[in-house]
Amino acid sequence: MHPEDKLKTVRFLHDTRNVQKLSLALSQFNEVEELASQDQAFLASIRLKLEVWKAIEDEHGPGSCLALDHPDVQRLKRTAPYVRIIPVEFFENAERFTALSASHLESELQN
């Protein structure tokens, strides 16, 4: 796959916060590929975020970091369970984590 195509995939997976597939996509980049400096910086920042997201998913379950407000994630959630690319449990974990994060943020803002 061409590096530009890989970058498009990484951007999409980053935007949807699909941690498992993003991790896999990042592993497809080898260190010697020709990338513009801004693309190298972008990948470096994503790798840092990915470590945080992995820790969240280790604690709250796979899929916890999914961007539930992203249109593609919403579309995937509406598909029939037998054709889902993302397992139902991932959406459930994301909903729980989103609710937990919102209530935690609300309590932080009140203090």
With a cut of 60, say whether residue 54 has pLDDT above it: yes
Q: Is residue 79 scored above 90 in pLDDT? A: no
**Residue 108 reports pLDDT greater than 50:** no
What mean pLDDT is predicted for residues 18-40? 83
Weakest-pLDDT range from 5-14, 19-28, 52-61, 73-82: 73-82
The mean pLDDT of 19-36, rounded to a whole number, is 82
What sign has the CA pseudo-torsion 39, 45, 50, 53? negative
Q: How far is CA 24 from the centre of its chain?
A: 11
Q: Does residue 65 register a pLDDT over 90?
A: yes
Q: How far is CA 65 from CA 14, 18, 58, in A?
A: 10, 7, 11
Mean of the per-residue pLDDT values for the chain? 86
- Separation of alpha carbons 93 and 7, rounded Å: 27
Residue spans per domain, the chain? 3-110
